[in-house]
């Protein structure tokens, strides 16, 4: 059981949300600092909890972690970076251009792309400019959840290519044209990322099939981007101390099976493993335990207080079913099991005789794997960004590109390669899916929190755009936001785990949703070891740590709470091949 060794100046920890990127990057940074190095830990995750893990209030400049000499950390808040960027671009023209002009400029800087790019801009400053981290031996990046990270990482190569090939002034870097000046910085960033002597990329995963598949997907995409210095870090490795406990045996078997069947290319990477810890990983002491040999405290099992637990999923589904139609969205930080919960709800509604569409916007799309067999009345669809972009591109070219000359067509195609295009294409698909809820149930397993918020933000921006331009707009798009806000049409379910970080993130999500005018219908606490009835000493101890979080959700946060014991739905991991192929063969969403 070790931490990933780091020989390079820069390291990135990437992986599905909830696998322990922050914990592992902090534990690695702490170990390096304790060996006498000066280390900077950087988070670019919009849902970062670096402050919490390190027990220090952080800012956008390096802050010393007092209890760990040599260790520094900083937090890049992409939204704050976007606001600062917007002010930098618009501010100088206040009082010079008319207020209406200022307002329309600001509108252009409130889209999802601006947040994305402003964050990347901050990140490039650290990576592309060696002077920015000159005082440190190592800079460790605890990056955002995978989809988000990949977009950040993909941008420089897309942009380098784009900026180089762009002719004339009609470029489509969108509201970010001002960044073209930073070409040299971006080029340096790309060079640093793909230089194996400078940068190590740690794929953080855990012994679960879906997490390992996700790691493999990331590995492939990074390899395509020219990043070759990759390592695999398996976190949360568990083996039951003694056989006989059903939950512990299942968890052990699941982990062994997942590791034994991991994708071959992943298996060839240098690997390090860290154990499943009965305590969380918040605080320096807990971080040290990730690398130090763990002594498990003696088994305590105390009987649990009966009757003090929230009910299971059945009663919630019964109430959801009453509406007979509408949209159900499961939301939460990546890794909390939104997909499994969405699939369980969709299957249960279908078994009650309703027509149900289960759909995902999660780029990793585990949803197809999570449905247990073919259920009559249930259709599974997926919003695949690549296909949506291709469809949108074809549509635009057919509609507007037909009569253009070669030069005009080339210009249009160039604009269609912009980062905004994906955002728009996915948004349109999302709006169509929500529209289906008019006469059936639509269960949406949404993407991880940061992305979801961006999506809703995009919905808001488009909503305003729709009202302003009166352009030809599909009815589905026009009515999206009112529908998401209509509590009789859309039921938002917040999925969380009974642990510090997930509950904290879910609370933030609930606040963000409130700002968008959306009130969650219920909270679902998933994968509870406490409710599972396990008597394994490590798992039962971990279960005990859930108690205060469950109480807090019930008492302070949720209008209505549901508790799902660990193990329910995990048979989905062993989904039959037949059902997967049946889902794959199902017609794509129109």
**Residues at the interface with other proteins (CB under 8 A):** 89-90, 92-93, 96-98, 100-101, 104-105, 107-109, 111, 168-172, 174-175, 177-178, 396, 398-405, 407-409, 411-412, 415-416, 418, 420-421, 424, 462, 465-466, 469-474, 477
| Shortest distance, position 168 Cβ to other proteins, whole Å | 8
| Shortest distance, position 401 Cβ to other proteins, whole Å | 7
What is the DSSP code string of 49-104?
-HHHHHTS---SS-EE-TTSTTEEEEE--HHHHHHHHHHHHHGGGBTTB-HHHHHH
| Shortest distance, position 555 Cβ to other proteins, whole Å | 43
Q: How many residues does the chain have?
A: 590
Q: Going by C-beta distance under 8 Å and a sequence separation of 6 or more, which residues neighbour residue 551? A: none
Q: Which of 14, 23, 149, 379 is catalytic?
A: 23
CA count, 13 A, side-chain hemisphere, 82 = 20
* Residue nearer to other proteins on the CB measure, 137 or 415: 415
Q: Which of 17, 29, 43, 45 is catalytic?
A: 45
Please state, as a whole number, how many other Cβ atoms lie within 10 Å of the Cβ of residue 376: 8
Q: Which of 21, 86, 333, 338 is catalytic?
A: 21
Based on the residue annotation, tell me whether 21 is a catalytic residue of this protein: yes
Based on the residue annotation, tell me whether 45 is a catalytic residue of this protein: yes
Q: Which of 18, 29, 236, 335 is catalytic?
A: 18
| 3-state percent breakdown (helix, strand, coil) of the chain, nearest 5 | 50, 15, 35
Based on the residue annotation, tell me whether 586 is a catalytic residue of this protein: no
* Residue nearer to other proteins on the CB measure, 269 or 396: 396
* Residue nearer to other proteins on the CB measure, 92 or 517: 92
* Residue nearer to other proteins on the CB measure, 299 or 474: 474
| Shortest distance, position 122 Cβ to other proteins, whole Å | 20
Based on the residue annotation, tell me whether 181 is a catalytic residue of this protein: no
Based on the residue annotation, tell me whether 22 is a catalytic residue of this protein: yes
Residue 123, CA distances (Å) to 42, 44, 129, 143, 375 in order: 9, 7, 10, 10, 46
Q: Which of 330, 360, 501, 528 is catalytic?
A: 501
Centroid of chain to Cα 185: 27
Based on the residue annotation, tell me whether 23 is a catalytic residue of this protein: yes
| Shortest distance, position 564 Cβ to other proteins, whole Å | 38
Based on the residue annotation, tell me whether 133 is a catalytic residue of this protein: no
Q: Going by C-beta distance under 8 Å and a sequence separation of 6 or more, which residues neighbour residue 247? A: 529, 532, 533, 534, 536, 539, 566, 567
Let me know: does 331 contact 514? Beta carbons within 8 Å.
no
DSSP H stretches of helix in 166-245: 183-194, 209-224
Q: Which of 14, 22, 149, 189 is catalytic?
A: 22
Q: Is 74 left (phi over 0), alpha (psi -120 to 50) or beta?
A: beta
Q: Is 403 helix (H, G, I), strand (E, B) or coil?
A: coil
| Shortest distance, position 284 Cβ to other proteins, whole Å | 45
Please state, as a whole number, how many other Cβ atoms lie within 10 Å of the Cβ of residue 66: 9
* Residue nearer to other proteins on the CB measure, 478 or 560: 478
* Residue nearer to other proteins on the CB measure, 1 or 101: 101
**Active-site residue numbers?**
18, 20-23, 45, 501
């Amino acid at each position: 059981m070790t931490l990933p060794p780091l020989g390079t100046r820069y390291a990135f920890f990437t992986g599905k949300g909830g696998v322990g990127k922050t914990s592992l990057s902090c534990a690695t940074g702490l170990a390096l600092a304790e060996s006498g190095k000066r280390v900077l830990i950087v988070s670019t995750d919009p849902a970062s909890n670096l402050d919490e893990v390190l027990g220090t209030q952080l800012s956008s400049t390096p802050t010393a972690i007092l209890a760990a000499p040599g260790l520094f950390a900083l937090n890049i808040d992409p939204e704050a970076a976007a606001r600062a960027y917007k002010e930098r671009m618009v501010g100088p023209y206040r009082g010079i251009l008319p207020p209406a002009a200022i307002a329309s400029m600001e509108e252009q800087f409130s889209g999802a792309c601006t947040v994305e790019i402003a964050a990347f801009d901050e990140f490039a400053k650290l990576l592309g400019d060696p002077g920015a981290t000159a005082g440190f031996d190592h800079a460790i990046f605890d990056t955002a959840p995978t989809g988000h990270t990949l977009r950040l990482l993909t941008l420089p190569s897309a942009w380098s290519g784009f900026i180089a090939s762009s002719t004339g002034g009609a470029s489509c870097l969108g509201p970010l044209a001002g960044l073209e000046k930073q070409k040299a910085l971006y080029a340096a960033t790309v060079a640093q990322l793909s230089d194996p002597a400078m940068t190590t990329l740690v794929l953080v995963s855990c012994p679960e099939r879906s997490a390992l598949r996700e790691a493999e997907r990331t590995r492939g995409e990074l390899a395509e981007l020219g990043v070759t210095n990759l390592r695999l870090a398996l976190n949360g490795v568990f083996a039951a101390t003694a056989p006989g406990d059903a939950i512990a045996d299942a968890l052990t078997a699941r982990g062994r099976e997942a590791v034994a069947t991991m994708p071959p290319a992943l298996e060839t990477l240098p690997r390090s493993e860290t154990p499943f810890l009965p305590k969380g990983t918040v605080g320096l002491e807990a971080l040290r335990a990730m690398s130090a040999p763990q002594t498990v405290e003696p088994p305590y099992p105390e009987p649990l207080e009966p009757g003090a637990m929230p009910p299971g999923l059945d009663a919630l589904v019964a109430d959801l079913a009453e509406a007979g139609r509408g949209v159900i969205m499961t939301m939460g930080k990546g890794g909390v099991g939104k997909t499994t919960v969405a699939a369980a709800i969709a299957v249960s509604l279908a078994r009650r005789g309703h027509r149900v569409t289960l759909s995902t916007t999660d780029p990793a799309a585990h949803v197809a794997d999570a449905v247990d067999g073919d259920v009559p009345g249930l259709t599974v669809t997926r919003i695949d960004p690549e296909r949506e972009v291709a469809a949108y591109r074809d549509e635009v070219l057919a509609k507007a590109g037909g009569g253009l000359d070669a030069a005009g067509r080339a210009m249009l195609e160039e604009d269609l390669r912009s980062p905004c295009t994906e955002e728009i294409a996915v948004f349109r698909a999302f709006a169509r899916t929500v529209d289906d809820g008019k006469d059936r149930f639509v269960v949406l397993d949404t993407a991880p929190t940061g992305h979801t918020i961006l999506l809703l933000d995009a919905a808001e921006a488009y909503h305003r755009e729709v009202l302003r331009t009166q352009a030809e707009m599909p009815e589905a798009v026009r009515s999206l936001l009112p529908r998401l806000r209509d509590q009789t049409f859309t039921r938002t379910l917040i999925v969380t785990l009974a642990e510090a970080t997930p509950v904290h993130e879910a609370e933030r999500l609930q606040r963000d949703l409130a700002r968008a005018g959306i009130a969650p219908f219920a909270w679902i606490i998933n994968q509870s070891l406490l409710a599972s009835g396990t008597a394994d000493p490590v798992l039962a101890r971990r279960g005990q740590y859930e108690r205060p979080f469950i109480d807090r959700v019930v008492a302070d946060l949720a209008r209505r709470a549901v508790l799902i014991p660990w193990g329910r739905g995990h048979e989905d991991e062993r989904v039959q091949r037949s059902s997967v192929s049946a889902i794959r063969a199902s017609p794509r969403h129109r």
